[in-house]
Amino acid sequence: MEFYVISLLNSLVFGMLLFMLSSGLTLIFGMMGVLNFAHASFYMLGAYFGYQISTFIGFWPALVIAPLLVGVLGAGVERYGLRTVHKHGHVAELLFTFGLAFMIEELVLLIWGRVALNYQVPASMDFTIFTLFESDFPFYRLFMLGISVIMFVALYLLLTKTRTGIIIQAALTHPEGVGMLGHNVPRVFMLVFGGGSALAGMAGVIGGNYLVTSPSMAILLGPIVFVVIVVGGMGSLTGALIASLLISALQTFAVGYDYSLVDLLALFNIELGPDPWFSDLWRIKIENTGPLLPYVLMVVMLIFRPKGIMGERES
Amino acid sequence: MRQMTKRYGVWVGASLLLVILPQLFGSGFAITMMSEMCIAIIFALSYNMLLGQGGMLSFGHAVFYGFGGFMAIHTVKLVNDGAFVFPLELIPLIGGIAGLVLAIPLGYISTKKAGTTFALISLGLVELVVACVLLFPSFFGGEEGVSANRVLDWSITGARFGKGIEVFYLIAFWLVVSTALMYLLTQTPLGRMANAVRDNPERAPFVGYDIHLVRFFQFTLSGFFAGIAGGLLAINYEIVNSEMIGAIASGNVLLMAFIGGVGFFFGPILGAILFTFLHLTLVNITQGGQIYLGALFIVIILWAPTGIAGIIMAHKSLWLAGKFKRLVPTYLMALGAGLVAFFGALIMVEINYHLSLSIEPDSPMQLFGVEFQANSWPPWVIAIVLLGVGYFMLRPVIKKINFKWGQLTQEMQKMEKGEIA
């Protein structure tokens, strides 16, 4: 019981963090058809900016300024980079963001060095909020959960209740039509790209000190974010939410089981010899498959339902 | 006769060059570099079978390269242990077959769609394989990889392959064979249909071809050649580790092919040579090798998406018409301005690397023989001034180049019309 409750809470925290990252990416993809490889790099930049600003003026200003900075950078990338390569088609756009991710990682290495930063949870939030079955639950995780839920609600209201949101939604499916109505669609694109990057930056600020802030953080999380938007359905916010929670739960719960195929066979009274064929395969424990599961899920999803859980169209 | 030389001249010339080069540059470093270049050429050409010829952007091509390498090294190990007799010359073929076999299931899954879906599946598959490396230590050898001794008891040619130069000739032989096969493949109906499917997947089925099948064949054959390259790398270094199969190797081959130019058959060859050269030499000079390569990639994507091969081919007709020399002065100006800006950026990059990565940031650093303090302000000012001056010099020059291009294209068109009339 203890394991389930704690794992559920932890997977909720990580899942919402994943959602903050993937919501921006899925919006950008749905609207512009651009799969932004550099999205996780903006997350990394958010963490590094957050660290730098919080050493100067504290965590709270960093929570506001760092995402804004990342958002401005993102908008700049769209305006001066993506728009230039747009005429060469989607492959060129994809390649551009790939190169950008590469460059951002190198620039981070260049400025902050190779080692992980000492980016700590602010002391004012570093305490235990409650104790469940003898396990302490840190307040900071609750704070992360709170921020990501607020962001989700705000994003949802923005997209469904405001005029800007309705234009964005319309531009998702009918960019030409929206342009005909006199809206500046390229500017909407730029804003969405900037906004999505800012969300990723925000995830970096609150996730960097909870996880690790190092130059490899983009590479570690980037592919998982792709899995989320593929599984959830590209362009769908609700799908991204479901997929984020699902993948986070898969990874968190897998850690708790140390069964392997040997144990499964033992249930049926089959015993393998001391040195069987494919000895590695039989001995793999479920707890070690955590990093593998999201990709298995993604490949299976792409084969059987390429639209994803909530997607309406194939790419 | 003239047609014959035109047709086979390049191939004979390239083969002769491969024979002569190690005699001219015999040092260990040169042999290593040339061997790696040849392997990279095969790998990049096989990658271009997907991206350039088939329109499939893959982020996981190193899976076949790495798998070929692992199978090859395991075979060498088995032969060394006396399990069976097999010549080293044919080991790359084992790698190729391994790549082909692996590409059959993976290709079947991923080639149903091209475009973004294909790119994503390739990304998922490479992560899947990387995750497997740690789960199957007896095949992948865990962190340290698998190593074997390439000197086998029996070989077809009688060579022992103990020396680097012998291995180079083996690699060169496979390079010529693979390149010729890949070139011939572009001339077959499959190669032509792959282009058709790339350009217009809606209309290609109307000619009567199954686009999934065309992509699938192209994909599996590309896996075969990637496996050959992997097998050659296994022989060359006698060790294969997880680095070879992962996302970085996949990204590198993408960079090679794209920098060289994916639109032409010889593009990836140029790209592989340039990339390997920069990769191996920059490592010795600077910590920032990756950043310069990345910057080159971005510059190519933004302003020259046809790659180096595309730039060359765009000038071919001007060269033949004898008009190229009129562009030379402006190009020299652009080169000068570009170099000024590049030096500015270079100084900044190097200062930052010194400050963030060296053991003692306060100790003086050296750049082009000049010693200075990295944390003092003069180098920064010089760098920023150079960058700014270069940028403002470059802008009018680029305008001038565009103008001259327009002029020359018009003249060429007039000439063509004149010829017809």
The CATH number given to whatever domain includes residue B156 is 1.10.3470
At A280, the pLDDT band (50, 70, 90 cuts) reads low
Global pTM value:
0.88
B260 and B326 fall within a common domain: no
Q: Report the percentage of chain A scoring pLDDT > 90.
A: 15
Nearest-angstrom CA–CA distance, A191 and A196: 8
Q: Is A91–B113 a contact, with Cβ atoms under 8 angstroms apart?
A: no
The β-bridge relationship of strands B239-240 and B146-147 is antiparallel
Closest Cβ opposite residue A295 in set B124, B138, B291: B124
B91 and B152, same domain (yes or no): yes
Find residues 65-124 of chain A whose CB sits inside 8 Å of chain B.
81, 84-85, 88, 90-92, 94-96, 98-100, 102-103, 106-107, 109-114
Residue B311 included in any domain: no
Q: What is the mean pLDDT of residues A160-180?
A: 83
A51 vs A44: CA distance, rounded Å: 11
Which residues of chain A lie closer than 8 angstroms to B294, CB-CB?
99, 102-103, 106
8 Å CB contact of A295 and B131: yes
- Compute, in degrees rounded to 10, the torsion defined by CA atoms A25, A31, A37, A43: -30
Evaluate whether residue B313 is within a structural domain. Answer: no
Residue B316 lies in a domain: no
The residues spanned by each domain of chain A are 2-218
Q: Domain check: are B189 and B338 in the same one?
A: no
Secondary-structure breakdown of chain A: helix, strand, coil percentages, each rounded to the nearest 5: 75, 5, 25
Question: Exposed (0-12), middle (13-18) or buried (19+): which is B16, by Cβ within 10 Å?
Answer: exposed
Residue type, A59: F
Residue ending a domain, among B281, B306, B331, is: B306
Q: Which residue has the tokens 């004149």?
A: B418
Residue B276 near residue B37, CB atoms below 8 Å:
yes
Dihedral angle of Cα B287, B293, B299, B302, to the nearest 10 degrees? -120
Q: What is the pLDDT of residue A313?
A: 59
Identify residue A268 by its one-letter amino acid code. F
Domain that holds residue B405: 321-420
Determine whether the interchain pair A314/B113 forms a contact, defined as Cβ–Cβ distance below 8 Å: yes
Residues of chain B neighbouring A78 (CB-CB closer than 8 A):
none
Is pLDDT larger for residue A129 or for residue A107? A107
Rounded Cα distance, B229 and B245, in Å: 12
Average pLDDT over residues A21-42: 85
User: Tokens standing for B337?
Assistant: 């301005």
Do β-strands B239-240 and A135-138 pair in parallel, antiparallel, or remain unpaired?
unpaired
Tokens 């893959």 identify what position? B58
Structural domain total, chain B: 2
- Rounded to 5 degrees, φ, ψ at B251 are -65, -40
Q: Which amino acid is at B130?
A: V
**Residue A315 pLDDT:** 47
Q: Which residues of chain B have a CB within 8 Å of the CB of A113?
A: 356-357
B302 and B334, same domain (yes or no):
no
Residue B312 falls within a domain, yes or no? no
The burial class, CB within 10 Å (0-12 / 13-18 / 19+), for A71 is buried
CA angle centred on B179, ends B145 and B19, rounded to 5°: 85
Question: Do A217 and A112 meet the contact criterion of CB atoms below 8 Å apart?
Answer: no
How close is the nearest chain A Cα to the Cα of B265, in Å?
19
Residues B45 and B171 in one domain: yes
pLDDT at A312: 66
Give CA–CA dist B241/B236, Å, rounded.
Answer: 13
Q: Do B113 and A92 touch (CB under 8 A)?
A: no
User: Both B15 and B54 in a single domain?
Assistant: yes
pLDDT in tens, B58-116: 988 999 999 999 999 999 999 988 888 888 889 999 999 999 999 999 999 888 887 77
Contacts of A219 in chain B (CB under 8 A): 247
Using alpha carbons, select from A173, A171, A191, A150 the residue that is nearest to residue A19.
A150
Judge whether residue A276 has pLDDT over 80. no
A280 touches B at CB < 8 Å: yes
| Rounded average pLDDT over A127-155 | 82
Tell me the two tokens of residue B278.
């920069």
State the DSSP code for A312: S
Give the DSSP letter of residue B152: -
Task: State the complex-level ipTM.
Answer: 0.81
Q: What pLDDT shows up at residue B354? A: 79
Same domain, B288 and B330: no
B404 located within any domain: yes
Are residues B343 and B214 located together in one domain of the fold?
no
Whether residue B121 is found in the same domain as residue B213:
yes
Same domain, B242 and B363: no
Does residue B296 share a domain with residue B344? no
| Closest-CA residue to A199 (of A145, A247, A234, A151) | A151
| Ranges under pLDDT 70 in chain B | 1, 419-421
pLDDT at A209 over 60: yes
Cβ separation A92–B132 shorter than 8 A? no
pLDDT reported for residue A139? 86
Who contacts A13 (Cβ-Cβ below 8 Å, separation ≥6)?
A: A141, A144, A145
Of A95, A296, A315, the CB nearest to B117: A315
